[in-house]
A and B are shown apart, each in its own frame.
Chain A
């Protein structure tokens, strides 16, 4: 007691304080820890600590057979399971030179885009919550639940589907799939409209997000940002357009691009992406061909030839890359995943420079990281 009073002098310099945010903090959307150096309310520096959700997925992949690895990829970005399954299956297919039937490709695209919508809806919900808006989270969670109910009727599971197979699909979609998706798309549009109307141009929401953590296109490229975080800075780059994979070159859709690269742009871009994904799904439903979906491999053991392959795809969070090395056996020799969330997180230090503590929450929220993918 005496010591403190002795040290207190009238002209004391303001001292930087260390503030721990997380790993158990609702705004970190998982187990993520940030150490903030704060000067009053101002964030001077930030150090992210990752690894709380590390499960060694990449190492586990080396011990599993090729078809078992799909279950592990489900658990990387657990909000976009179909997208992860697709990129892994494409990697093995490319290595083996496998042809995938038209119908499988279309169903994959439909499910992946629906999963993108589900993921973005969860983003809208949590972004609203981070900024203090409650109602959009209710609307978006309801919408996401409908999409997941559809996934359950298709694959049997709401989240960890294990539905895509190397060279095809597990089984064909149910008979009423197409009308079901069409009904769902209408509801998705309504939900997004309502949430958009409530949140996007709300005065308080704009004040919380506009001109926060703006980064330039050059910086965004330098830090290796991909996905909505990069496009918000005005860079027109989307793997679906830049290097079309699957059947994406057959659809007419736009790539929304932001202006300022601030948090609001990152938010609003995802709202726009939902509408674009709806457009893609509508076209895919119109073009959906008949045919087989089962893999041409049947139930044979998958043994790709020795070699290596790199495949990339556009996930809801950005560009995911899978680097796969095969030694010709029935298990992969090595799998390296380039997770979009992890790479986007590298810009955190730049974004949080000299922001307020309250803004730290929305900055992290607008990055939209999934810790399952960051830590792997």
Chain B
């Protein structure tokens, strides 16, 4: 009898605790019954969503040279690509001799492991924050080059993406760069 009452008391205390602000967030529509948490949970900075290709704003072409490293290293073989000669290189505008002609990722097979990003030598592929791409037909999320570049550009703009190799260079020569800029402002 005593134990029973004690148990009830414990449960009552817990119930009172339960009346605090709910942690449930509505998805995909924002807001819940009490109006808390207007936004669905945001993804973290490092979140690995579907992969996409990046766009070089300086030269107005993709970073990807279709070198096939990511395709060979992918554990699920979900990608394929075709290479072509870069017309901009012939005009002398680009340093890339070859460039991607077509690129396809079968997002049904992709396991979002991020190995492709890690092995890429040209900063050409990123794991975007895109994760809402479900569709009713099986082939709808086999994405090709235009969509990949569009997703990549969206990611670049949202996060202020800097190519990792460039970022590493900036970090390494950080002091030297700071000196030169200081010198530049003086002159």
Please give the residue numbers on chain A whose beta carbons come within 8 Å of chain B beta carbons, in ascending order: 64-65, 67-68, 71-72, 135, 138, 142, 145, 149, 152-157, 160, 162, 170, 174, 194, 197-198, 202-203, 299
Contacts and interface: CB of A to CB of B under 8 A. Distances in A.
B113 A160 contact: yes
A170 B118 contact: yes
Given A202-B7, A299-B119, A194 B17 contact: yes
Contacts of A152: 43-44, 46-47
Given A142-B23, A149-B44, A156 B75 contact: no
Contacts of B119: 299
Contact of A194 (B14, B45, B48): B14
B163 interface: no
Contact of B4 (A142, A149, A203): A203
B61 to A, nearest CB: 25
Contacts of B48: 156-157
B114 interface: yes
A85 to B, nearest CB: 11
Given A149-B44, A153-B46, A162-B113, A197 B10 contact: yes
B82 interface: no
A170 B10 CA distance: 45
13 contacts: A71-B111, A72-B75, A135-B14, A152-B43, A153-B45, A157-B48, A160-B111, A162-B113, A162-B114, A198-B14, A203-B3, A203-B4, A203-B7
B47 A156 contact: yes
A337 B17 CA distance: 44
A174 B23 contact: no
The binding surface of chain A is classed by DSSP as helix
A64 B73 CA distance: 9
A71 B75 contact: yes
B14 A157 contact: no
Contact of A198 (B3, B11, B23, B114): B11
Given A160-B112, A160-B113, 15 more contacts: A65-B73, A71-B111, A135-B14, A135-B18, A138-B18, A145-B23, A153-B44, A154-B46, A155-B46, A156-B44, A157-B112, A162-B114, A197-B10, A198-B11, A202-B7
Give the size range of B's interface with the partner.
20 to 34
Interface of B: 3-4, 7, 10-11, 14, 17-18, 23, 41, 43-48, 73, 75, 111-115, 118-119, 127
Nearest to A205: B7
Given A135-B14, A156-B127, A198-B14, A67 B47 contact: no
Contacts of A145: 23
B112 A67 contact: no
Contacts of A170: 114, 118
A67 B118 CA distance: 11
A367 B56 CA distance: 54
A78 to B, nearest CB: 12
Nearest first, the 9 closest Cβ-Cβ pairs linking A and B are: A156-B48, A68-B75, A156-B46, A153-B44, A162-B113, A71-B113, A152-B44, A71-B75, A157-B48
A160 B127 CA distance: 14
Contacts of A142: 23
A82 B64 CA distance: 32
Contacts of A160: 111-113
A174 B10 CA distance: 39
Nearest to B127: A156
A10 B4 CA distance: 45
Given A152-B43, A202-B7, A203-B3, A162 B115 contact: yes
